[in-house]
Structures are given as C-alpha cells and as structure tokens.
Structure 1
C-alpha cells in the first residue's frame, strides 16, 4: 500500500477535510519532503491545475498524481449527476470527463463523490440512481483509454442518499455494463455507515480502488478512536495495493496533520 495526501485549491471548501492548502507548488514540494508517494488534488477547474507545469512540479518533488477530485463540480459550479435538469446533467458529465482527461495524462484516476447528487422532491430515488449509473457508465468507459478506472465514493447519509455503504456501492457497480469503475472506501464515511468497517472492506474486495485514510472524527489517523488492526488486516486480505490517502481536516495545522499522517502510515503498513 502506498501513501498519499490531499491538496485543495478550492477556496469555497476551505476548512474542509483536505490536509494541504498552501498552493500547488508548495504543497507538492512539502509532500515530497515528507516522503509521500503521491498527492490527490481537489481543484476548482482543470485550468487552475496548469497542467503544463504540474508534471514538472510532481517530478521535482518525486511524487505521483494519484487522483483528481471532481467535487468542485458541485461545491463551486453547482453541477451534479442526478440533477432533474437534463442540460445540467450533460454539463456535469462533461465536467467529469474533463477531469478524467486531465488525470489520465498522469496515469491518475478521477473521483466522483459529492457530484453524484441525490434524490429529492424533483427526482425520485430510482430515477436518481439511474442517472448516476448512466454517468458512471459514461465516465468508466471514458477513463478506459487511459488504462485507469473511474473511482466512485459512497458517502454517509448526511451527504447523499444514493449509496451510503460499500455493499450499496458494490451492487451499483455490479449493475453497470462497464467493468471500469472502482470504489473509494473512505474510513470516515464507513465509520458512520458500516456496522463493521473491516467487513465492509472485505465486501468491497477487488472493487476497492482507493482508500481515504482518516480517523473517526475526520482528523488525521491517530487523532480519533478508529481501530486500525482489523482495517489493515482486511486490506491485506483483499490484496489491496493502492493508495492510503489522507482526506482529513488539517488539524492541528496542515503541516502537523501531514506529518502525523506519514507517521501513522509508516506504523500501520510496517506492522506484521
């Protein structure tokens, strides 16, 4: 399993669960100094990433790009994949494709989390789920050209009513025609929704494509009450060799949160 840390460039999300906020160049440099294998970036737009410079920044720091989030599609642009408005759904899928294309240049994945939307008084649950499935089909096949999967994240009940558990996510992915979508298992969301986090990971099995490595209170690992022995054992049992990525509050501050994440990553992945 490899180490990864989140970088946010979205001012509208400041104070949210992303570790590094000090600009792209400084954040990538700091991640490299701490020994992280990769970064996951949450950007307001593809233009803000300045892709012509991003490769050089990553190479200089000795880190890879693990994934790009699509959350700004919702947080900043108010686009979501289950919108009642057909034109808004078209725009949302186009935004997702643009993130897939940007990430794909670096062999990285795109993540669909908050953009999945939800059912409401305008869209019933079955229709909302159908719109989401259609978008995952589209995005999964679009990502195939880059030899990476599209990543879909079940969220807790306070953030979506689409898929809240790993089992729900597995059922959704198994209903698709494409086989190029994987699950993001976020330990914070799982702590709310799963009766047993380790069992949830075992249910996800080979569909687990990315993990958000965080504690029970969404602080960095070690600052909450999460029990990691069964979690790490379950990840090893399913043969997970992807990223453990810190999507956590920058507590007590971004730099110490990053250092604590690396300490925790080294401790838990070295444990026999």
Structure 2
C-alpha cells in the first residue's frame, strides 16, 4: 500500500480550538512529526508572508519530512476573503490569495487546498452565481497550479459549513464542469460521515478525482477515537489505487502530541506498516 502519512500544523491564532493536530512552533511541530515517522505535514498559515519559505525548507530538509499541502482557510478565517463574494473586487482579492498559496506550496512540489474559502450562496448571491464564482476560481487556480506539476485541491464541506458542494458526487460534478483537469477533490472523512450515505461507496465513485484524504474519525477526533468503520474505507482507497496522503486534520484530543501519536498508530495499523 503506497498511501503516505501526514499531520496538520496550524499557525493561525484565529483558528485555535479547530481541527488541527499540532500548533504554534513550526520547528517543534515538524521535528515531532519526524520523530513519529510522518512522511509529510500540511500547514495552515495566516498568509504566505507569515511563512519564511527558506526557513521552512531548511526545517523540512533537516527533519526529512515533505510538505504535502498548504491550506488557504486563513483567507476566510483571518482575512474574511471568500471566492463566492458578491463583490467582484473581493473575489479578485480571494483569488489572488489562493494564487499566493499555490505559488508558495508549488516551490515544495506541494498542493494548495480550497475549503472554507469556497464561500456559500445567500444574501446578494444566489446559488447559481455562487457556484459559477467558485467554478471560475477553480479554473483560475487549477491552471495556475499546473506550472508546478501539482493539482489544486478542492474540499466539499458539510452542510453546516457550506451550501456549495457537500458530497463527493457534487464535487465530481463541479470538477467535470471545468475546462481544466488539474483540480482534484479533498475527501475529508469527517464531512463525509455527515453527508454521505456510504463513505466507502462515495470514495469508489470519486475514483481518480480523489486527490487528498483528511484521515479523521466520525467525531473529528483522531482515527480510532470515534465510530467510523475504516475497513471498508481503506478497501475503497485501495480499489481506486489511491497513493496520496492520509492526513490527520483532527482535534488535538486529548492533546496535540497524543493526537499525533494515535493517528500514527492508526495509520500503521490500517496500512499494514506497523
């Protein structure tokens, strides 16, 4: 099995209490991830300017850990930018923020992720317009990411966080409507547990559109701390020849270090690498 391990690191104070495993010190977090044997990290940063890319590269190299992805969520959480904004100027700012994250991630052969920045319909934006604005941004970002040889990653979210795409099927339909083929889906098992009738079947239906996995249990705690049935999920990932990352985007429960340890134990068990 070629799936690789990954753990999230958040540097965004406004997101404290959210579903990110490691926090605060990039140096300590990358070092701890390496100590536990993680292949990669996924970083949630306030902005590109908040990351010293040379320093980051040095930390990754010295730890022997890769950068899997950079999240764009701070664009919404910190800067209140979203891709379905009624204001065209704000939408342009949001797309520019996404491109800046793509450029930073691309230097490491890593992907950028669009989740909460997708926005939602409501108020001055009807559902069709919101979806069209999102599609336009995915076209822009997917084409921009192509120069780095990596896809842009788009994440369907549960109904409490967006009304754009909530299921894998809706995400696939959106991707198939694009002219670029350089956008893939992030399938987050927590969101899927809420929205999908059968998580494993949804992954099978996603097929080669599945580009990244958030490896988390039903209650958004680390894998093994909820009621998710992982056997069928792992069988589905094998069936679609998924060889990307299983990335822990989970609450740091009961604390960040134990959450990271528990995820690694679960990763090793389910991939047969213990």
Per the shorter chain, which TM-score range?
over 0.9
CA distance, structure 2, for counterparts of residue 203 and residue 96 of structure 1: 28
CA distance, structure 1, for counterparts of residue 17 and residue 30 of structure 2: 19
Task: Describe the SS at the equivalent of 1:222.
Answer: coil
CA distance, structure 2, for counterparts of residue 171 and residue 203 of structure 1: 11
Of the candidates 118, 121, 143, which is equivalent to residue 120 of structure 2? 118
Of the candidates 150, 153, 156, which is equivalent to residue 155 of structure 2? 153
Of the candidates 25, 41, 44, which is equivalent to residue 42 of structure 1? 44
* Mapping of residues 56-71 of structure 1, within 5 Å: 56-71=58-73
CA distance, structure 1, for counterparts of residue 199 and residue 92 of structure 2: 35
Residues matched between the structures, number: 271
Asked whether 1:223 is paired with 2:228, we answer no
| 1:119-152 Cα distance to aligned partner (Å, 9 max, x none) | 0021000000000000000000000000000000
CA distance, structure 1, for counterparts of residue 54 and residue 232 of structure 2: 42
* Mapping of residues 72-111 of structure 1, within 5 Å: 72-111=74-113
Task: Describe the SS at the equivalent of 1:7.
Answer: strand
CA distance, structure 2, for counterparts of residue 151 and residue 22 of structure 1: 25
Asked whether 1:266 is paired with 2:268, we answer yes
Would you identify which runs of 4 or more consecutive aligned residues in structure 1 move more than 6 Å?
none
Q: What residue is the counterpart of 1:177 in the other structure?
A: 179
How far does residue 258 in structure 1 lie from its aligned partner after superposition? 0.2
Task: Describe the SS at the equivalent of 2:23.
Answer: coil
Task: Describe the SS at the equivalent of 2:165.
Answer: coil
Task: Describe the SS at the equivalent of 1:219.
Answer: coil
How far does residue 110 in structure 1 lie from its aligned partner after superposition? 0.1
Q: What residue is the counterpart of 1:167 in the other structure?
A: 169
How far does residue 268 in structure 1 lie from its aligned partner after superposition? 0.3
How far does residue 22 in structure 1 lie from its aligned partner after superposition? 3.1
Of the candidates 126, 129, 133, which is equivalent to residue 127 of structure 1? 129
TM-score w.r.t. length of structure 1: 0.99
Q: What residue is the counterpart of 1:11 in the other structure?
A: 13
| 1:168-218 Cα distance to aligned partner (Å, 9 max, x none) | 000000000000000000000000000000001011100000000000000
CA distance, structure 2, for counterparts of residue 60 and residue 219 of structure 1: 30
CA distance, structure 1, for counterparts of residue 185 and residue 206 of structure 2: 8
CA distance, structure 2, for counterparts of residue 112 and residue 98 of structure 1: 12
CA distance, structure 2, for counterparts of residue 109 and residue 67 of structure 1: 4
Cα RMSD (Å): 0.6
Gap runs ≥5 in structure 1 = none
TM-score w.r.t. length of structure 2: 0.98
